[in-house]
Structures are given as C-alpha cells and as structure tokens.
C-alpha cells in the first residue's frame, strides 16, 4: 500500500518534468498524508496539475469523511469493486506526482520508516484514480486514490507481510494511463511492480510517523533526511 508520500520539489521543477501548468500556489510537502492535498494530472485536463485530497471519496458517499480503505486501489480488483469500477470505465485516471514514498518496517513491533526514491529521476508519477463529490449545497470535493500492485523485492523487504507497493509509471506510460480511448483492461496492463534496479531506499527518523502533532501538520524538510545524517 501507499499511505504516505512526499512532494518536496518546486513548481518550476515539476513543470520541467511534466508538460503542465500549475495554476495554484504549491508548497512542498515532506509528509503527505491522507486528506491532505496532493498534486495530480487528470485524463480530463491533462494540461494542468491540480490539487486534490489524498484518499478517495466516491461521488455517491453521504459525506466527505474518509474511509482509510480508499487511499489505495488494488489494481487486481478495480474491475470488481463498485468504488473503482465506474472510475476506470469512465477514464477517471490521473497521474499522482511524487518524489518519494514512505513504508514502515513493523517486523520488530516498532514502526521504522523508510523512504523509497528512484535512481534515475527526482520526480515521478503514481497511477491514480480520482473522483468528484458534490454536496447538497453545491460544495465540490475532489479526491484521488493511488493504485497498488505486488511489491518488488526492495519494497517487499520492508512492507511485509502484505507485500504491496504503489504503481510507479514509466514516463513513456504517462500518456497511456491518461488515454481516454483505451479499454480498462489495457490501462491496467501497466500496473506492474517497478524494477528493483531503478529504486533505492533509506531509513528515516520515527518523527515522520505522525501526520500531525497536536493538530498541527507535521511537515518539514528534516523529516526526509537519512537517519544517519540527522
């Protein structure tokens, strides 16, 4: 699964990596948790990167209270589940922009955080699905979920025994995932484990474990520094 990730790059760095504009103010997030705003590129509006809430609220939900089961969508099950099936059938696909993600090693009974990054590029995109919820008074709440697949070896060593990881897309598959002409089965063909050889990880301080402290978002650059450099 992927319940926490990072997007610490500047808007100019993001726009250099992705051919989009960013119409909103964007602050770096070193500890991006569910309900917070992430940055996504949708199949409906591929020319802009827009903020949406991490943790999908289906359009038919009674309110915007997040169920933690919707932060991720298991790629093997999206065509079987009522939350995900209409989204992928109606091409509500998106790229979730990130520069790393966090998983916890819990094998010793203590949650030890590790950050995973790519060796060949600072910015990348998860495959995602998004939805728009509209309240009775007209309020709009846009949200997204990150697709997951079986873990590769480097992630599986930490994320055990569940052995899941987010779907990280190769750049040549960005347009593919956003292609509104492709069948759902074709889209899902890219939901595979990312190659181990292109990834690396390092241990973080447990200070990152809390998404917020006394109601204040826990977000600062030190959170993603390797523990041996703290």
H or E segment to which residue 87 belongs: helix 85-89
Find the mean pLDDT for residues 111-127.
Answer: 97
Cα–Cα distance measured from residue 26 to residue 37, given in angstroms and rounded to the nearest whole number = 10
- Residue 67: predicted pLDDT: 81
Q: Cβ of 186: how many Cβ atoms within 10 Å? A: 11
| 153-177 pLDDT, tens digit each | 999 999 877 799 999 999 999 999 9
Examine the pLDDT at 13 and tell me if it is beyond 60.
Answer: yes
pLDDT digits 0-9 by tens, 17-65: 999 999 999 999 999 999 999 999 999 999 999 999 999 999 999 999 9
Q: How many CB atoms lie within 10 A of CB 158?
A: 21
The predicted structure's pLDDT at residue 230: 46
3-state helix/strand/coil string of 127-161 = EEEEEEEECCCCCEEEEEEEEEEECCHHHHCCCCC
State how many domains the chain has: 1
Residues contacting 112, CB < 8 A, separation 6+: 104, 105, 106, 203, 206
pTM here is 0.97
User: The CATH number of the domain where 204 resides is what?
Assistant: 3.90.1680.10
Q: In whole angstroms, give the CA distance from residue 216 to residue 86.
A: 36
Range of the domain at 147: 5-229
Q: Is 189 left (phi over 0), alpha (psi -120 to 50) or beta?
A: alpha
Residues 42 and 52: beta-carbon distance below 8 Å? no
């Amino acid at each position: 699964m992927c319940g926490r990730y990072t997007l610490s790059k500047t808007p100019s760095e993001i726009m250099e990596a992705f051919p989009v504009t960013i119409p909103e103010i964007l602050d770096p997030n070193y500890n991006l948790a569910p309900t917070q705003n992430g940055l996504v590129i949708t199949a409906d509006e591929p020319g802009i990167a827009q903020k949406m809430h991490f943790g999908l609220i289906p359009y038919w939900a009674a309110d915007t209270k997040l169920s933690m089961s919707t932060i991720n969508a298991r790629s093997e099950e999206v065509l079987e589940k009522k939350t995900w099936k209409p989204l992928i059938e109606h091409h509500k696909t998106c790229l979730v922009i990130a520069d790393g993600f966090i998983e916890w090693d819990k094998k010793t009974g203590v949650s030890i955080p590790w950050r995973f990054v790519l060796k060949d590029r600072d910015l990348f995109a998860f495959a995602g699905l998004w939805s728009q919820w509209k309240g009775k008074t007209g309020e709009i709440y846009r949200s997204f979920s990150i697709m997951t697949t079986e873990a590769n070896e480097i992630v599986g060593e930490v994320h055990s025994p569940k052995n899941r990881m987010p779907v990280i897309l190769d750049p040549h598959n960005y347009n593919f995932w956003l292609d509104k002409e492709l069948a759902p089965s074709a889209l899902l063909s890219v939901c595979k484990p990312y190659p181990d050889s292109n990834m690396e990880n390092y241990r973080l301080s447990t200070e990152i474990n809390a998404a917020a402290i006394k109601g204040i978002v826990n977000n600062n650059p030190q959170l993603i520094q390797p523990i041996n450099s703290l």
